[in-house]
Structure 1
């Protein structure tokens, strides 16, 4: 019985691309061989899940699978060609092919030579190169698709990663600095083997980037919200600020306000080409959970001798309506 790839991932056949991606991530995290060393059952299940996602996670492949053009292993389904049932023959061959000769005359039933068979099974990949005798020649292998999940800093800074393939082998991936969520890295010649000496296909690595608790990406720039105290905002200060490249000391000007943004030049994404991005630090004034009497009295006295209005002109357009 043909395996139902949707059941392998635990989703319905009407599931969205996002639902399929989430289901795969959940199962992959649970079954990954690195998290289950020595567990052959888990490794086998990881292979099944990865193979199912290789098809359902690709829109084109999924459409072919839903249409019945490929099976659960990704192989194209063979279709009967040029046959019709013979009616009225006594004890003769049951099937005829288009030229009218019986299948006994040609063991391949209607294909003029072996090249037709190879063309039928492989022709919809990348067109075969015909050999000098008209037979099937060199043919490129199919591309293989994988998914690689990265931490935010791994994607921002780049580096080397090793992924475990469904069949148990491994593949080393050079992650360029600044690779984005959803981007695909192509590894030439790392896909399926070619046919009759043809070139291998490529490995297509789709990148998924986990969010960071502090940093957010804006193009090649990095954004971060920095909590500061009331006295640091009023008097100014020098504070340590995290960046994707390590901590740096930043000067907060006296009289800083929440929402004010300061720039750390060159502390963003550093790609191999082009200028580096910057890091923008948005200040956020945070008051203590408990206000002591000294602070309360000082602020009260300040309020009584000033007429500062932080909302002056703030909603003037709204008030005029």
Structure 2
């Protein structure tokens, strides 16, 4: 009769562990106990245990089935599957007839070897598959690339100077700090294991008009003194093209105006904020100087009144 295996204990994780954390723990343990490189005692046996535990817990269907056994079983106890187990879950021969290194406990639950698992081919660890490491690289895109989405071709260079060309899809509305996953483009696996994934962390190139915060964008809009004083309708750039913006009378420098939904797209689109910047005409002609002197005489205006 097989012994019960506590896969969560073998992995050293809580029963509610998420898939991302589970994957990180697996990669760490697989590197630690891989028979080709490990100097740990009983590395081969531990590697098989980790492979088997991960094979079950990474798969939602197998994990749900395993969890239905309950938490009353203890590591090493004699185990017999419930009488109606096979009627509820059809796992027998689900993974083909590959030669496997999984335990009798695993076979009693799922009916044999699992695809992608550790293979026992003798001493020395040869034939043990281990997935490659994930890699992270930063890429710069234009703000317009995020607004519109689409595909583009990039060139990545490794630390050794080798370059490769990749065609990637830019999701519409992606924001800085988010990552684009390229499955199988990470480090090669070992012993026939799959390659890891490549994650491209997005950064925006500096834009000549807009500043970005999350999905919101901000534009500094120059206006003439008479536009700010009297009010005006002025064309204003947005990511989707220019729109007419109504400037209220007596607008002030630094005043913020909101264009709802004019930022980056998403489930909740970002907004565009317009900050007014009053630009003075230069007093570089006699006529311009005369006009400024007339304003000085006739307008009762003290720009420093609030400092008193």
Deviation at 1:164, TM superposition (A): 2.2
Which runs of structure 2 are paired with 1:231-246 in the superposition (5 Å)? Answer: 231-246=226-241
| Alpha-carbon distance in 2 for matches of 1:142, 1:306 | 71
Q: Secondary structure at the match of 2:228?
A: helix
| Alpha-carbon distance in 2 for matches of 1:306, 1:235 | 15
Task: Name 2:145's counterpart in structure 1.
Answer: 154
* RMSD (CA atoms): 3.4
Deviation per CA, 1:29-85: give whole Å up to 9, x if none.
Answer: xxxxxxxxxxxxxxxxxxxxxxxxxxxxxxxxxxxxxxxxxxxxxxx9xxxxxxxxx
Q: Is residue 315 from structure 1 mapped to residue 277 from structure 2 by the alignment?
A: no
Task: Name 2:270's counterpart in structure 1.
Answer: 277
List runs of 5+ in structure 1 lacking aligned partners.
1-75, 77-114, 317-321
Deviation at 1:232, TM superposition (A): 1.7
Q: Is residue 117 from structure 1 mapped to residue 23 from structure 2 by the alignment?
A: no
Task: Name 2:119's counterpart in structure 1.
Answer: 131
Relative to the length of structure 2, the TM-score reads 0.54
Task: Name 1:253's counterpart in structure 2.
Answer: 248
Task: Name 1:176's counterpart in structure 2.
Answer: 171
Q: Secondary structure at the match of 2:206?
A: coil
Deviation at 1:160, TM superposition (A): 1.9
Q: Secondary structure at the match of 1:117?
A: coil
Higher relative contact order (CA 8 A, sep 6+): 2
Q: Is residue 143 from structure 1 mapped to residue 134 from structure 2 by the alignment?
A: yes
Q: Secondary structure at the match of 2:35?
A: helix
Relative to the length of structure 1, the TM-score reads 0.52
| Alpha-carbon distance in 1 for matches of 2:253, 2:138 | 40
Query: Cα 1:146–1:302, aligned 2, differ >3 Å: closer, same or farther?
Result: closer
| Alpha-carbon distance in 2 for matches of 1:211, 1:218 | 13
